[in-house]
Structures are given as C-alpha cells and as structure tokens.
Amino acid sequence: MRWPVGLLYVLSLLLLAGCLVSEVTEYTLTLNADGKSGTFTTVMRHVESDSRDSAAQEKDFATLIGNWKGDRFLLDQMDKGLYVKARNLSMEKGKLVWRESSIFADVTKLIPGFSPDSALRFPLTDTSGLKVTSNGKLIATRDSTFIVWPPHTRTFEMKSSQRNFTPASNFVKSFQKYSRKR
C-alpha cells in the first residue's frame, strides 16, 4: 500500500487555502482506461469563511471570487498537474456551492508512486467533527484513520461533512451583492 502524499497536497491546496471552509466537500478522481490519465472533480457545499474578523472574511471572499474568475487559480492548478475544464460558483438551496472539474494526463503527478496494480491508502488528518464517507474502505485505528481502495480501482470517491458547521461569515449575502454589481 502506498501513502499518497502528493494527493494529500493536492486536496489540501486545491481550492480553499487560507480560512475558507465548507460544510460538505466531495472529491472524485476517475482514471481513464489507460490507468494514467483521468478526471478530478471537487464539489464544496456551503462555502464560507471561518474567520470572525470582517476584514479577513472580505479577503476570503475575494480569494473565492479570484479562484472562480481569475487566471492565477488556473495556473496554480496546472502547476499541480490539473487542467481545469470548468469551475463554477453558484447558489443552491440558499447556500454557496463551488464545483470544479479538471483533467490530468498523469496520475503520478497527483499521487507519486501510484500503481493501478497496488492498493491505494489515503490517510485522513484530523477527522474530529467530520463524517467521512467513501467508496473505499474506511479504517480507523487507535492513532489514525485512513481509506483504502483495492488494486485496479478506477474511481476514488471521498466525501466529508462537518457535523456542527457554524460559519462566522455570510458569503451568500456577499455573493448576492457581488452578482448585482456585475
């Protein structure tokens, strides 16, 4: 089994650096028939800031809009081996939702040492307050939690939900104001 350090890096830096949080985050990595290229999808539901400071919240919202509209985000994703095909920020059921679809040419740029013939072991950091589900096997030991997918898996899914999500910000209001200005 391999520890996908690169995938941890990609997941942690994909979108929400800084103080942006979401109530629900879903990741899906699907390999093509070649076992090397594929797609990577991220969906974040109820995106907000966890900062109590209004200036920091405004900065977090500006970062989110920059990720949606700006070129820097696209270039940053390319540096990670992902080519963003679509990104969208929208309102759904009164909450802000981020969707991103990317393609990649070489999964080993995301998961160094990945082999389709080996099981993939994905360690989870601080899962307190989270409900984690996956199409892999979720394993909790005394001092760690991880997901294992068997060899030859082509679709890797993981979803985390905050149990007691209480954001400090109101990005819906900020997004409505931003949308009126456009």
The band of 66, judged by pLDDT with boundaries at 50, 70 and 90, is: very high
From residue 113, give the alpha-carbon distance in Å to each of 4, 76, 127.
8, 22, 25
CATH number of the domain encompassing residue 79: 2.40.30
Tally of domains in the chain:
1
The pLDDT value given to residue 167: 86
Neighbours of 56 (CB within 10 A): 16
- Inside any domain, residue 147: no
Average per-residue pLDDT for the chain: 89
Q: Which residue has the higher pLDDT, 125 or 9?
A: 125
Residues 134-152 have pLDDT tens digits of 999 999 888 888 999 999 9
- Inside any domain, residue 51: yes
- Inside any domain, residue 162: no
The band of 12, judged by pLDDT with boundaries at 50, 70 and 90, is: very low
- Inside any domain, residue 72: yes
Contact 78, 13 (CB under 8 A): no
What domain range includes position 42?
5-116
The band of 18, judged by pLDDT with boundaries at 50, 70 and 90, is: low
- Inside any domain, residue 41: yes
pTM equals 0.86
- Inside any domain, residue 159: no
From residue 174, give the alpha-carbon distance in Å to each of 57, 65, 71.
10, 10, 21
- Inside any domain, residue 163: no
Residues 76-116 have pLDDT tens digits of 999 999 999 999 999 999 999 999 999 999 999 999 999 99
Here the tokens at position 75 are: 């270039």
- Inside any domain, residue 63: yes
